[in-house]
Amino acid sequence: MTKLPADFLKETTMLDFNHPQIKTLIEQRKWCDLSPYDAIGAIYSFVRDEIHFGYNADDRLPASQVLKDGYGQCNTKGTLLMALLRSVGISTRFHGFTIFNELQRGAIPNYLFFFAPKRIIHSWVEVYYNDRWINLEGYILDKSYLMQVQRSFAGQSEAFSGYAISTKCLTAPDIDWKGEDTYIQSKAIADDFGEYNQPDDFYSSHGSNLSGVKKILFRYVLRHLMNLNVNKIRFNGVS
């Protein structure tokens, strides 16, 4: 097996995997006792389904804060996924993009959609397994949320964009860990910024999605309304 630079296992300000809460979680779940394949699958499933889809205060939160929040979106759940994988000795890196905002329509209510930038900072995690990098993006939406959208749009065209989904197959998107790439929003990608060893470096270069008054409104008002909408979909379906 190829030995990668230690940089892909490094702890950073965002990937704070020595935080007591993260260390306790790792110990409780016994992820260090698993094979690399099983550890990736167990951690991936935890981040996908036990950390619900939702909107945090900032893209640049450390992994420990995302874990404390108990919810996240592509960027923040990705931070937690990277930190947890690195904590058990599995190399990861960050791949940055933008996506077109239309895929968020529905998850973001129409009355708030004005505030969404046309292109939204997006990312996925790349994990090194079997001597190659594998793209992981299917962790963004928890299955409880995804299944409600699937039920609401059953019988429609398989290609689907909306409600934080952009996939060629809504019925059976590639979201389960099987040693291959997973995706749930990849069909909406606009710009590809390439790979970064650390998410901290990406955000230092590209910033986050909002600034100024919109950022303040998002942090203290808008995201809470968005999360109410997402939770309504998760428990009651699409109205």
Cβ neighbours of residue 210 under 8 Å, at least 6 residues apart? Answer: 115, 117, 218
What was the pLDDT predicted at 158? 85
Q: What mean pLDDT, rounded, does the chain reach?
A: 95
Q: Where does 5-86 show beta strands of DSSP type E?
A: 52-53, 71-72
Pair of tokens at residue 106:
């529905």
Question: Does residue 153 lie within any of the structural domains?
Answer: yes
Whether pLDDT at 239 is above 90: no
Total-model pTM:
0.96
User: Is residue 193 within 8 Å of 7, Cβ to Cβ?
Assistant: no
Pair of tokens at residue 141:
């939406």
Domain of residue 116 covers: 6-234
Kindly state the average pLDDT of the residues 15-32. 98
Kindly state the average pLDDT of the residues 195-200. 98
Query: What CATH number has the domain bearing residue 75?
Result: 3.10.620.30
Alpha-carbon distance of 171 to 157, in angstroms, equals 9
> Counting runs of H as helices and runs of E as strands, what totals does the chain give?
8, 8
Instruction: Assign 210 a pLDDT band (cuts: 50, 70, 90).
Output: low
Beta-bridge mates of residue 99: 120, 189
pLDDT in tens, 124-152: 999 999 999 999 999 999 999 999 999 99
> Could you tell me which of 96, 93, 84 has the C-alpha nearest to residue 45?
84
User: Is residue 127 within 8 Å of 36, Cβ to Cβ?
Assistant: no
Kindly state the average pLDDT of the residues 92-112. 95
Question: Does residue 173 lie within any of the structural domains?
Answer: yes
Question: Does residue 239 lie within any of the structural domains?
Answer: no
What was the pLDDT predicted at 206? 92
User: Is residue 172 within 8 Å of 109, Cβ to Cβ?
Assistant: no
Question: Does residue 97 lie within any of the structural domains?
Answer: yes
Alpha-carbon distance of 213 to 211, in angstroms, equals 7
pLDDT in tens, 34-73: 999 999 999 999 999 999 999 999 999 999 999 999 999 9
Question: Does residue 1 lie within any of the structural domains?
Answer: no
> Could you tell me which of 67, 58, 53 has the C-alpha nearest to residue 17?
67
What was the pLDDT predicted at 198? 98
| SS3 of residue 34 by DSSP | coil
pLDDT in tens, 153-177: 987 768 999 999 999 999 999 999 9
What was the pLDDT predicted at 33? 98
Question: Does residue 202 lie within any of the structural domains?
Answer: yes
The number of distinct structural domains making up the chain is 1
Question: Does residue 218 lie within any of the structural domains?
Answer: yes
Kindly state the average pLDDT of the residues 213-235. 91
What was the pLDDT predicted at 218? 83
Question: Does residue 85 lie within any of the structural domains?
Answer: yes
State phi, psi for 220 to the nearest 5 degrees.
-105, -15
Number of alpha carbons in the 13 Å side-chain half-sphere of residue 145: 29
What was the pLDDT predicted at 42? 98
> Could you tell me which of 101, 76, 60, 108 has the C-alpha nearest to residue 189?
101
User: Is residue 77 within 8 Å of 140, Cβ to Cβ?
Assistant: yes
Alpha-carbon distance of 49 to 184, in angstroms, equals 14
